[in-house]
Amino acid sequence: MHVRGEDELGVGKLFGLACRRPVVSGVLLALLIEAVTAFNWFVLGLRAVDFAHLHAWATSGFRLHHGYPGLGLLVVWLVTALVRSLRGSPWRGGFLIVGIGLVLSDAVHHFVVLKLVTGSTEFP
């Protein structure tokens, strides 16, 4: 039986840390992102609408939840897993880790934190 190694997963080093368990790394990244988001939201009083002007040129004015680019990165990771010539890409592990981090942090923020604190998911 063949066990997938670090190189096959495309998981090398990310930010100088060995990432042998990309799902765990993605969850840790999600916790970090949510901590920053919660700090901005609850301590500094900053909301997503306060930053909408920064990416309005790229989104045609639509509000973009960070979970959507995360889903895109997960799709890219899946494609690189399916296409043999892309399997050795050093970026694969990063796509998986950042994708999981973005999707999970957005879901936790809306469906756990905001629901508990405000009673609303504030998710259109």
Supply the pLDDT for residue 2. Answer: 43
Per-domain boundaries in the chain:
23-118
pLDDT in tens, 21-56: 888 889 999 999 999 988 988 898 887 777 767 767
pLDDT in tens, 41-94: 889 888 777 776 776 777 776 677 889 999 999 999 988 888 888 877 778 888
Name the nearest CA neighbour of 96 among 21, 2, 16.
21
Evaluate if residue 16 carries a pLDDT over 50: no
What is the C-alpha separation between 45 and 62, in angstroms, rounded? 21
Cα distances from 109 to residues 55, 60, 121, in angstroms, run 20, 24, 8
User: How sure is the predictor about 11, in pLDDT bands with cuts at 50, 70 and 90?
Assistant: very low
Evaluate if residue 105 carries a pLDDT over 50: yes
